[in-house]
Amino acid sequence: MSLLPPNLGRVLGSILIVGLCCSGFAWASTPEEAREIIREAKFGKTSSTEQARALIGLAWPKDGEMDPQVQAEARRSLVAYGLHALPALRRAMPEIDPRFQADAAAAFIAARFRNPAGMPPDYLPGLEETIWYGSPEAQRIAMNEIRRYDYPPAVLSSIDGAYENPILTRYVVNNLAAMNDPRARTFLTNLLLEGSDFYKASAARALLVFGDGAFDSFRAGVVSEYSTTRQTSLRVFLPLTETSDVETLKTYLERFTEDDPELREAAQTRLEVLERRLNP
């Protein structure tokens, strides 16, 4: 008769799983083993926040060493916590390995929509903090989500994101147009007047949301020394010009004789219309 306890294998297995979880290396050969590792990681933690922290450590380990099955199961369990996962995710985001921050940002959004009613207090601040501190892809995910809400603090974090990671500029411009915040006008004007040619057209379109408040930006662009700035501004602004813009159009036509002939002709036609209004 064996002197060993009949459940020794299960006990040793549990001890091994706990040890792996604590050491940061958790590997599972089957989905059931992955689920067991998740259960052991949550064992003894009395609050959902503590359990969420344990799951975050398995889903996006700091050393990057983790079985993909365990990571996927931890992420799924974390999203299933819904609103209860948001505080822990928000606090953990700056410390998550940048390689995983985009996935963590997506999980943050998914967890929020497990309970779509109302606005959790950690949600919008968490998105804004991701724009400040996240990897470029995490920033992009957060920007695309936060633009759906009227959340003024995101204006400055989005602009800062564009300065730090120019690759995000296209998303920032779209966000600022959706937010319709006056503080965005200076950034968009600088982008139109002095930024990369690649973004001038989108910056000009975004400025349109400010109505009359953006007209001075267009007037400056129409007489800019930079050809792309000048012609982009004129194409957007020309249909909006009024009699107060007669001198601006005259200056353009006198100084920039080498511009696109069709654009110059359109400007000349518009000038004549405005002059007739002044002198009927």
178-182, 194-198, 200-204, 258-262 — which is least confidently predicted? Answer: 178-182
Neighbours of 114 (CB within 10 A): 13
pLDDT higher than 80, residue 1: no
Report the pLDDT value the prediction gives residue 5, as an integer from 0 to 100: 46
Total structural domains within the chain: 1
**Could you tell me if residue 214 is inside a domain?**
no
Region 181-196: mean pLDDT is: 92
**Could you tell me if residue 279 is inside a domain?**
no
**Could you tell me if residue 171 is inside a domain?**
no
**Could you tell me if residue 10 is inside a domain?**
no
Domain that holds residue 138: 45-145
- The helix (run of H) or strand (run of E) holding residue 274 is helix 261-278
Give Cα separations from 20 to 15, 28, 34, 75 (angstroms).
9, 10, 12, 18
CA-only gyration radius of the chain, Å: 28
Report the pLDDT value the prediction gives residue 26, as an integer from 0 to 100: 53
Residues 6+ apart with CB under 8 A from 74: 38, 41, 55, 56, 58, 59
Interval 33-57: pLDDT, tens: 656 767 776 666 667 888 888 899 8
**Could you tell me if residue 122 is inside a domain?**
yes
Q: What confidence category does residue 254 fall into, taking pLDDT thresholds of 50, 70 and 90? A: very high
Report the pLDDT value the prediction gives residue 48, as an integer from 0 to 100: 80
**Could you tell me if residue 134 is inside a domain?**
yes
pLDDT higher than 90, residue 236: yes
**Could you tell me if residue 254 is inside a domain?**
no
Report the pLDDT value the prediction gives residue 131, as an integer from 0 to 100: 94
Residues 6+ apart with CB under 8 A from 8: none
Interval 142-172: pLDDT, tens: 999 998 898 989 999 999 999 988 999 988 9
**Could you tell me if residue 77 is inside a domain?**
yes
Please give the Cα distance from 157 to 146 (Å, whole number): 11
